[in-house]
Structure 1
């Protein structure tokens, strides 16, 4: 097997494990806060759930550009290992939390040392043949997004079988194993002497240079809006499932299943849409996927059973498979020479900002709109995003093609 394919396979596993570890607490977080950490009242639980879940992404948003700058000097693989082993330790420590503030602090530490995903994307993008970039980005991101959404299913299943705290120990151990696999299999040709000889840009100068390329700020805006729309209802889905299910029996399992079924369809569609983007262009796939996702949010606000919600979220996952991979492939396409890693790091910060603002905003708005209203708000954001893509990417590209 060619080395780029080995890298892709191993980093797919790593992406899956990292994102599953971050999202595994979603189906039982609100229940965990109620039963083990002494938080009471539906609105208080919703607020704490949103803040604790978002805390990881607050510090990630701040620190990702600095890790991106460091990777330009020492390489992407060291960033993979630093992040993977560090998060494994922090995840185990989460199992010893005795109050919501301790869990909040550990989630913030986890975000501080994160960086596995942007380093993976950068490493794969620089070691993959250009004519296979779309396929590689789609495959790699299917691991990340599948981990994001299958994580809740695994968490819900484990919560019913082993309880809440052991999940953190299991997740930390799996992250450690994924990091070991990356250490021994992943290879990167990186010349540290040549990197040290290059001009070292500050974080702000790097952002300034990237911002001069019109398509890159547009892609960052797309990333933020995608994550905001996706994450604003995410932490409240267990309460929605509880309302639809009507009983507490196997509640964590059903909440996890609903949260993760999107990942099943995403895993199928992401590599296929990535390969298609190599033929027709990532801009078109991005616009198509945004409109499809916007439409699929609407029925989730009007379902009357868990099974109807499951079907709606499965359909949503088909279109989600074309979003993040298309953004990453387009960033690789438009980033100036030698700045791909910086571009991915800033995009990771933007993603973290959406992950941070989304749950907090969702927790606040749910008091007025209910979770049903959050689905409709997410749909509006996706439609607006599709219009933004047309104005900034597709329409800008058409005159060039005609010329």
Structure 2
């Protein structure tokens, strides 16, 4: 088997394990806090929100730092650093005695994270250019599969084995994924060539990348995509409760609505990546942005759960052409030797969208309801499509 295909398979598994490990805690976060001695419902809600956000805050800050080191010392080294570090931190979460311990470990987890951007950069430098869209789409499907199945596996396993053993198993699986990467993944990184290049700071690296006109546009697109999509996510269970007749199977339908988008996204990502290789990544990105924006409009008008499921499934199909295509375009426009840095800045944009989306969506929902949030998301994505046409298509001829 060709080396780039082996890399893709191993890193798909690694992405799946890392993302499922990071999301497994979501279904039972509040219950775990109660086991740690927090009994007041209001305090549980506050702790759960702070602990959940802690990872994204430190990830936003530290991703560019790890990206700089990856360009300097190798992407595979950053993969192993992040994977082994997260395996240790995840295992330690099973030993915590207070909410403060859990918060500190989640913050530390965000600090040492970087598996996803390092894997993306490594795939981008080892995959043939004509297969780049397919590889990025396939890699993204691993992230999505982990994000979808992580909460499901976590909730199921917590019922069977309890909370603490789940952290030990998750840590062991992430360590296994890191060892597979150590033995099977091949990196084209040349340490001697990297050493000959001048060492530049994170801010100077950002300044260099900023001068490439397509990259700031792509970072902005990533932020707006994530902000638009995530702003309504915390409100979906309440919306399901509003439109679902009766209380029977309410939790099941709330979970199904949350996951159906991920399933269609996971299926569509490799297919749209393949079309991007043939038709051009810019075109697929613009079509996907328009399709995703239009898919939000019927969600604002649904009257029953089945209509909402259909609209969310359609949304997931178009979402499959967004982030993988953005990653392909970032690689296309990034100078050799700065790939990890570029993907790390893009991951910071993603983390910023993850942080601000739920906050802004929650505030706005008090005035315009969740139906209004769907309309706002549609407008943002459609305006994003116009932004892509003005910045990427107009500057497509601009060289590095």
CA distance, structure 1, for counterparts of residue 346 and residue 17 of structure 2: 20
Contact kept in structure 1, 2:365 and 2:373, CA below 8 Å: yes
Deviation per residue, 1:134-175 (Å, 9 max, x gap) = 111111112113322333333344455555554434332322
Structure 1 residue 47: Cα displacement: 5.8
CA distance, structure 2, for counterparts of residue 359 and residue 274 of structure 1: 28
Which segment drifts farther, 306-315 or 94-103? Answer: 94-103
1:282 — aligned with what? 281
Count of residues paired in the alignment: 396
1:272 — aligned with what? 271
Q: Secondary structure at the match of 1:396?
A: coil
Contact kept in structure 2, 1:27 and 1:255, CA below 8 Å: no
Structure 1 unaligned spans of 5+? none
Structure 1 residue 38: Cα displacement: 3.0
Whether 1:22 aligns to 2:22 is yes
Change (3 A) 1:100 1:358: farther
2:9 — aligned with what? 9
Whether 1:131 aligns to 2:130 is yes
Contact kept in structure 2, 1:58 and 1:111, CA below 8 Å: yes
Deviation per residue, 1:13-59 (Å, 9 max, x gap) = 11122122223334444666678743525xx7666554433221110
CA distance, structure 2, for counterparts of residue 32 and residue 255 of structure 1: 21
Contact kept in structure 2, 1:152 and 1:256, CA below 8 Å: no
CA distance, structure 2, for counterparts of residue 154 and residue 264 of structure 1: 15
2:315 — aligned with what? 316
CA distance, structure 2, for counterparts of residue 105 and residue 364 of structure 1: 27
Contact kept in structure 2, 1:152 and 1:259, CA below 8 Å: no
Q: Secondary structure at the match of 2:395?
A: helix
1:355 — aligned with what? 354
Contact kept in structure 2, 1:156 and 1:254, CA below 8 Å: no
Contact kept in structure 1, 2:71 and 2:339, CA below 8 Å: no
Change (3 A) 1:297 1:46: farther
CA distance, structure 2, for counterparts of residue 5 and residue 81 of structure 1: 19
Contact kept in structure 2, 1:16 and 1:144, CA below 8 Å: yes
Change (3 A) 1:89 1:273: same
Contact kept in structure 2, 1:291 and 1:382, CA below 8 Å: yes
Structure 2 unaligned spans of 5+? none
Whether 1:154 aligns to 2:160 is no
Q: C-alpha root-mean-square deviation of aligned residues, in Å?
A: 2.7
Change (3 A) 1:370 1:51: farther
TM-score of the pair, normalised by structure 2: 0.89
- Where does 1:314-353 land on structure 2 (aligned, <5 Å)? 314-353=313-352
Structure 1 residue 234: Cα displacement: 2.4
Contact kept in structure 1, 2:10 and 2:184, CA below 8 Å: yes
Contact kept in structure 2, 1:11 and 1:182, CA below 8 Å: yes
1:66 — aligned with what? 65
Which segment drifts farther, 63-72 or 382-391? Answer: 382-391
1:193 — aligned with what? 192
CA distance, structure 1, for counterparts of residue 302 and residue 330 of structure 2: 37
1:168 — aligned with what? 167
Deviation per residue, 1:221-247 (Å, 9 max, x gap) = 001111111222223434444555654
1:38 — aligned with what? 39
Contact kept in structure 1, 2:125 and 2:188, CA below 8 Å: no
CA distance, structure 2, for counterparts of residue 8 and residue 375 of structure 1: 35
Whether 1:92 aligns to 2:120 is no
CA distance, structure 1, for counterparts of residue 150 and residue 208 of structure 2: 36
Deviation per residue, 1:362-389 (Å, 9 max, x gap) = 3444444444443333222212211211
Which segment drifts farther, 16-25 or 263-272? Answer: 16-25
